[in-house]
Structure 1
Amino acid sequence: MSQPSSPNRRKILQLAGATGALASLGAVSGRIFSPALAAPAPKIRLAWTEVAACHSPLGFGVAKGIYAKHNLDVELFYQGASGQTLIQALATNKADAGAGLIGDWLKPLEQGFDVKLFVGSHGGCQRLLASKASGITDLAGVKGKTIATYGIGAPPQVAFQVTLAKSGIDPEADVTWKAVPFELVGDVVNRGEADLAAHLDPWAWSIEKKYNFTKIADTQTGVFENHTCCVLGANGPFLQANKDALRRLAEANIEVHEYTANHPDEVAQWYYDNLKPAGLSKEDLTEILGKLVYHNHPIGQALVDQIRITSEDLKLVKVLDPSTDPKEFAERITVNLLA
């Protein structure tokens, strides 16, 4: 296996996000990720969802020493398969930081949960899929149809409510949402009990391949192009005491996701060997990882901008409170590690 290289600071900063972030980074490049490497490596308990393909770079980064290279002792904490269990892991001090979908983070943070978001990981790990029998070939065809997903209010439902709303379809009145067990979303659609499936990868990818469904939308293209979907957050007390360590965690997060973008086969092999995902081959995992948008990992002002846009989207579909100011909210729930 080729060894993860040590990109210089200029390389890391070039990868950090949108143009605005790069401008900010350039202004303070001498102060960004500057750990005192002679000091003992601080420990960070990082919550993750090990069964999710898009989280595999985190495990790979620990196993291959990428976090250790940044003088961090990262311990992974399996928080379960939902955003609610991620929130619980941080709230009960079982983890110091965690990776999760923006759609899972924002409502608890609106309600006052003491977490700050600090860096994005990637974009695009949710799909809206139609059965061939439904005859649906585009978003216009979704109107009047039934969409199966694993939970009302779950991230795939929320994401594609936004997609539908921005396409002129009322995501409440014009479609029917059907909650089914997580592992049966594809089966329900294949049996004709619903017309479309909304799910997360790698399960969505497997459903698409197994049943030859048609991909109608995803969170990489259309209204979600250039959006990040997963971000890292840290609980407030840990952040206040360990800001320098979180700067290095952000740097390592950018590096490991860039490495995955360039070597999806290596990360897939690690995922396959260590986590043994049911029904997925190493080749399957390579394809899944290779198609995620791993170059999209905003930090600083670029992250604030992403959170503001997502907040506007979630207000549109009535997830966030009508009185919430997206700009103020985004600034309040993020921490600028470039400052």
Structure 2
Amino acid sequence: MTSSRKIAATSKISRRGVLRAAGTLGVGAAAVALLARPTSYAIAGNATKVRLSWTEFAACHSPIAFALSKGIYAKHDLDIELYYQGASGQTLIQSIATNKTDAGAGLLYDWVKPLEQGLDVKLFVGSHGGCTRLLASKASGVTTLEGLKGKTIVSYDVASPPKHSFQVALAKAGLDPENDVNWLNVPFDLVGETVGKGQADALAHLDPWAYSHKKKFDLVEVANTQTGSFEGAVCCVLGVNSAFLDANKDAIRRLAEADIEIHEYAAAHPDEVAKWFVDNLNPGFPFEDIRDEIASWVLHNHPVGKDLQDQVKHAAADLSLIKVLDPTTDPAELAQRVTVDILA
């Protein structure tokens, strides 16, 4: 006999935390109200509960919540609870490692260093590529990576994934990513204004903010995480707490299958996913921008098994190139150790 039960998309943060995050990211009041209350959908059966960390205001995470409303997780016999752990990818990752949540979606470049240092998490499926952009002002005259020599690039953190991504791109273009360019760090919500005011020549940022800055300040897209050496690379990857994986491997297999399904759906229906995101989370960006961003990403790129291991190996090699990882770290060994072939 089956019984009716609920799954809730619940943001586990305090009201103060919600307001602080919303203020930092420039989110509307309606989004704060939404985050303060649970949204639930009825399903039948004894589905496996999985607490999933995500970032509400990152447009590239919109398919994750859309899948909840669409019933895709329920179809895979999963009872998903979504938890917001802050705008920082490192905070999200630590929430999984400390058992506040069971699994979560994060940028691959955010995962690799903590995994090198012993983070007890396994990566199991990739979601998409292309959500990070390097944009230059027209006044700078920059149109290529090589043209950034001697220029100033602004980002929001000294070790942000966008900064690391384009340090790698610069290094592979023959520049010294530390000495041939000047890096400027400013608060998250001032990145675009810094270029708009002429205080920097270019910016490295994530969507939806990068895409919004591109339109607002009429910027030139020099590169993104699907151009040049990043072609075919995955940006965002799901990881799972190792103890939870050991006890619930079949559920994580189903989560991987659901993640692949929803990103394939988003690739075919960017309008529907964007409308849901804008209507339900009020991220402060127009529907057309979110739709165009979703359509621009490579949503068919969701590696598992050996393919995922190769992606992690390449990411580790990239971060070694810019001296983020310990010089003794073997990228191949690291990739083998921190991934699981969940569909095997």
TM-score scaled by length of structure 1: 0.88
Alignment partners' CA distance in 2, 1:47 and 1:325: 29
1:293-312 alignment, distance < 5 Å: 293-312=298-317
Gaps of 5+ in 2: 1-43
Give the match for residue 54 of structure 1: 60
CA-atom RMSD in angstroms: 1.2
Deviation at 1:282, TM superposition (A): 1.3
Q: What letter corresponds to residue 94 of structure 1 in structure 2?
A: K
CA contact (8 A) 2:93 2:106 kept: no
How many equivalent residue pairs?
Answer: 302
Superposition pairs for residues 1-339 of structure 1, below 5 Å?
40-278=46-284, 280-339=285-344
**Secondary structure, aligned partner of 1:228:** coil
Q: CA deviation at 1:39?
A: 6.9
User: Which residue identity lines up with residue 244 of structure 2 in the other structure?
Assistant: F
What is the rounded CA distance, in whole Å, between the counterparts of 1:184 and 1:172 in structure 2? Answer: 22
Q: Matched residues in 2 for 1:76 and 1:253: separation? A: 14
Unaligned runs of 5+ in 1: 1-37
What amino acid does structure 2 have at the position aligned with 1:328? Answer: E
Deviation at residue 154 of structure 1 after TM alignment: 0.5
Q: 2 CA distance for matches of 1:140 and 1:107?
A: 27
Normalised TM-score (structure 2): 0.86
Amino acid at match of 2:219: F
Residue 132 of structure 1, CA deviation? 1.1
| 8 Å contact from structure 2 (residues 267, 299) kept in 1 | yes
Amino acid at match of 1:199: H
Q: Secondary structure at the match of 2:237?
A: strand
Mapped to 1, the partners of 2:342 and 2:117 lie a distance apart of 23
Stretch deviating more after TM superposition (145-154 or 129-138): 129-138
In the alignment, what sits opposite 1:15? none
Q: Match for residue 29 of structure 1? A: none
Deviations 1:86-113 (A, max 9, x none): 1221133221000000010010010001
Give CA deviations for 1:285-333 in whole Å, capped at 9, x if unaligned: 1111111110000001110011111111110011111111111100000
- SS at 2:46 equivalent: coil
> Which protein has greater RCO, CA pairs closer than 8 Å, 6+ apart?
1
Distance in structure 1 (CA, Å) of the matches to 2:140 and 2:310: 38
What is the identity, as a one-letter code, of the residue corresponding to 1:218?
A: N
- Indicate the SS of the match to 2:166: helix
TM-superposition CA deviations, 1:117-171 (whole Å, max 9, x none): 0000000111111111111121111001110000011000000000000000000
CA distance in 1, matches of 2:289, 2:225: 19
**Counterpart of 1:335 in structure 2: which amino acid?**
V
Q: Tell me the equivalent position of 1:33.
A: none
Distance 1:123 1:204 in 2: 15
- What's the CA shift for 1:283? 1.5
Give 1:175 shift: 0.6
